[in-house]
Amino acid sequence: MEGAFHTKFCGRGDLTACRSDLWAALDAAGAALETTQGADPTAWRADATHERIRFAPGLLADSMRWRNRSTFQQVVSFTAHRAPR
């Protein structure tokens, strides 16, 4: 299949397969954490030292902590493909 939207991603374009793959990945991640850190998710911890942001030499600070902050989420729907100008 050719065209602008011919690339298929998750599940090779099959919604059921994609859904199954995503749940399997989440289950595997949870199982790995449970194996290493125990069954209680509230007790799971990670060392964030390797996630520090490093700056170039000569600046006032050589590193800073990284924070995971939410970003603005937007959903856009297209009802038709627009031809290029």
Contact 40, 28 (CB under 8 A): no
The pLDDT of residue 69: 67
Q: Helices (H) and strands (E) in the chain — how many of each?
A: 1, 2
Angle at 29 between CA 25 and CA 35, to 5 degrees: 140
Token pair belonging to 36: 């290493």
Instruction: Kindly tell me if the per-residue pLDDT of 13 is higher than 70.
Output: yes
This prediction has a pTM of: 0.49
Token pair belonging to 65: 């902590």
**Residues 58, 63: Cα–Cα separation, whole Å:** 11
Q: What is the pLDDT of residues 23-66, one digit of tens each?
A: 999 999 999 999 999 999 999 888 777 777 777 777 667 777 76
